[in-house]
Amino acid sequence: MSYIMVDIEADGPIPGDYSMVCFGAIIVEPSLDRTFYGKLRPISQKWIPEALRVSGFTREECLQFDDPKAVMQRFGDWVRSVGDGQPMFISDNNGFDWQFINWYFHHFLGQNPFGYSSTNLGSLYKGVVRDTFSNFKHLRKTKHTHHPVDDARGNAEALLQIKEQYGLKIRLE
């Protein structure tokens, strides 16, 4: 079983009406050296300039990105290649990240290699420290840049710190 930390950037609040611009993923393991990065051409004519601005890309740049189906196929192949058993999707804001990844997998490929569930890093941390007002972000080492691989790496670092500092029982590859 592999824990795969994922972060996405989008040009709006929901998949289908808006587009996932790019995403990054990293296998949660001490080396943090197995990553995936995809940039996807828009699937909709709708986009919110303020939302797109967070990604650092212009609409014109996004229109030159890769075919979403091809990117999701490469990502699915990568997810299946990185470990044994059911891969576990985890992210900082899985309510946002999961909805896009899940929708894109089902829309373009008809299935999601992660299955039907995901884990929220923030909620996991709150449970470990037994404080719903706590935040894990101080455990990141990599600066949060809104490049999805950087952000996934920082979140994976935080999960590794939760394991080490608080004794979280988690099996890593």
Enzyme catalytic residues:
146
**In sequence order, what are the beta bridge partners of 91?**
120
CB 6 within 8 A of CB 37: no
Q: How many CB atoms lie within 10 A of CB 71?
A: 22
Q: In what order do the strands lie in the sheet with 88-91?
A: 35-39, 20-27, 3-10, 88-91, 118-120
- Contact partners, residue 111, CB within 8 Å, separation at least 6: 105
Q: Helices 94-109 and 68-81 sit at what angle, rounded to 10 degrees?
A: 110
What is the helix (H) or strand (E) element at residue 81, kind and residue range?
Answer: helix 68-81
**CA–CA separation, 170 and 168 (whole Å):** 6
Instruction: Sort strands 88-91 and 3-10 into parallel, antiparallel or unpaired.
Output: parallel
Helix (H/G/I), strand (E/B), else coil: 127: helix
